[in-house]
Amino acid sequence: MSPERQIEAVAQFGRYLWQDPSIEDLVQEATRLVADGTRADAALVLERTVGNRLSTARASIGFAEPPGVRDLALGTAWHGPIVLETPGRIAIIDDLRDQPGEPPVFAAQGLRAAAAALIGDPARPYGVLAVYSRARGAFDAGVVPFLSSLATALGLAIRRTQLTAELNREREERFRLGSLVEGSDDAIITATLQGTILSWNPGAERLYGYAAHEIVGQNLSRLAPAGRDPAASYLMERVRAGERIPAFDAEHRRKDGSRVTVSLSLSPVHGREGEIVALAGIAHDVTETRRLESHVRQSAKMEAVGRLAGGVAHDFNNMLTVIDGYSELALLKLPADSPVRPLVEEIHKAGERAGDLTRQLMAFSRKSMAEPQVLDLSAVVAATAATLTRIIGEDIRIETRLAPDLQNVMADRSQLDQVLFNLVINARDAMPLGGTIAIETANVAFHAAHGVGPREVPPGQYVLLAVTDTGVGMDAATRARIFEPFFTTKGSGRGTGLGLATVQNFVMQIGGHLAVYSEPGHGSTFKIYLPTVALPLATARGENPADAPAGTETILVVEDDDAVRLFTEGVLKAAGYEVLTASNGAEALDLAQGTATPIHLLMADVVMPVLGGHALAEQMHPLHPETRVLFTSGYTPDAVRGKGMAIPSARFLQKPYAPAALCRKVRGVLDG
90: left (phi over 0), alpha (psi -120 to 50) or beta: beta
Contact 463, 407 (CB under 8 A): yes
pLDDT of 434 over the 80 cut: yes
CA 506 to centroid of chain Cα atoms? 24
Strands 554-558 and 578-582: parallel
Which tops the pLDDT comparison, 453 or 434?
Answer: 434
pLDDT per position as a tens digit, 220-231: 888 887 655 556
> What pLDDT does residue 637 have?
55
> What contacts 71, CB < 8 A, 6 or more positions away?
103, 104, 105
Q: Percent of the chain scored above 70 by pLDDT? A: 82
Which tops the pLDDT comparison, 309 or 133?
Answer: 133
Which tops the pLDDT comparison, 426 or 408?
Answer: 408
Of the pLDDT bands very low, low, confident and very high (cuts 50, 70, 90), residue 580 is very high
pLDDT per position as a tens digit, 561-572: 888 899 899 899
Q: For the residues 127-143, what does the mean pLDDT come to?
A: 90
**pLDDT-wise least confident of 135-139, 279-283, 653-657:** 653-657
Same fold, 3-165 and 545-670: no
Which of the four CATH numbers 3.40.50.920, 3.30.450.40, 3.50.20.10, 3.40.50.300 does domain 3-165 have? 3.30.450.40
Q: For the residues 577-603, what does the mean pLDDT come to?
A: 91
pLDDT of 486 over the 80 cut: no
> What pLDDT does residue 656 have?
83
> What pLDDT does residue 310 have?
61
Q: Please provide residue 348's backbone torsions phi and psi, each rounded to the nearest 5 degrees.
A: -65, -40
Which tops the pLDDT comparison, 4 or 632?
Answer: 632
State the DSSP H helix or E strand holding residue 605, giving kind and residue range, or none if neither. Answer: strand 601-605
How many C-beta atoms surround the C-beta of residue 630 within 10 A?
Answer: 22
Q: For the residues 89-109, what does the mean pLDDT come to?
A: 83
Q: Percent of the chain scored above 90 by pLDDT? A: 18
Domain spans of the chain? 3-165, 184-285, 291-364, 377-531, 545-670
> What pLDDT does residue 84 have?
60
Of the pLDDT bands very low, low, confident and very high (cuts 50, 70, 90), residue 81 is low
Architecture in CATH of 184-285:
2-Layer Sandwich (3.30)
Reported pTM: 0.43
Of the pLDDT bands very low, low, confident and very high (cuts 50, 70, 90), residue 12 is confident
Of the pLDDT bands very low, low, confident and very high (cuts 50, 70, 90), residue 602 is very high
> What pLDDT does residue 347 have?
85
Residue 105 and residue 67: Cα distance in Å, rounded?
A: 7
Residue 367 and residue 314: Cα distance in Å, rounded?
A: 13
> What pLDDT does residue 553 have?
92
pLDDT of 494 over the 70 cut: no
pLDDT per position as a tens digit, 236-270: 888 888 899 898 888 898 988 888 999 999 999 88
pLDDT of 466 over the 90 cut: yes
Residue 191 and residue 217: Cα distance in Å, rounded?
A: 9
pLDDT of 37 over the 80 cut: yes
> What pLDDT does residue 386 have?
73
Of the pLDDT bands very low, low, confident and very high (cuts 50, 70, 90), residue 392 is confident
> What pLDDT does residue 456 have?
60
> What pLDDT does residue 532 have?
92
> Helix, strand, coil: what percent of the chain each, to 5?
45, 25, 30
Where is mean pLDDT largest: 299-303, 306-310, 381-385, 571-575? 571-575
pLDDT averaged over the chain?
81
Which CATH code for domain 291-364? 1.10.287.130
Of the pLDDT bands very low, low, confident and very high (cuts 50, 70, 90), residue 135 is very high
pLDDT of 53 over the 70 cut: no
pLDDT of 41 over the 90 cut: yes
pLDDT per position as a tens digit, 519-572: 888 889 999 999 999 888 865 444 454 456 888 999 999 998 888 899 899 899
**3-state SS string for 393-424:** CCCEEEEEECCCCCCCEEEEHHHHHHHHHHHH
> What pLDDT does residue 453 have?
41
Contact 313, 288 (CB under 8 A): no
> What pLDDT does residue 599 have?
93
Which CATH code for domain 545-670? 3.40.50.2300
> What pLDDT does residue 274 have?
84
Residue among 552, 570, 572 at smallest CA distance from 630:
572
Distances 11 to 7, 14, 612 between C-alpha atoms, Å: 6, 5, 101
> What pLDDT does residue 542 have?
43
Of the pLDDT bands very low, low, confident and very high (cuts 50, 70, 90), residue 80 is low
Q: For the residues 159-166, what does the mean pLDDT come to?
A: 86
Residue among 86, 72, 57 at smallest CA distance from 144:
86
Q: For the residues 295-311, what does the mean pLDDT come to?
A: 67
pLDDT of 290 over the 70 cut: yes
Which tops the pLDDT comparison, 113 or 296?
Answer: 113
> What pLDDT does residue 490 have?
58
> What pLDDT does residue 644 have?
46
> What pLDDT does residue 557 have?
94
Residue 83 and residue 130: Cα distance in Å, rounded?
A: 10
Q: For the residues 589-600, what does the mean pLDDT come to?
A: 90
> What pLDDT does residue 328 have?
82
Where is mean pLDDT largest: 53-62, 99-108, 149-158? 149-158
Which CATH code for domain 377-531? 3.30.565.10
State the DSSP H helix or E strand holding residue 573, giving kind and residue range, or none if neither. Answer: helix 562-574
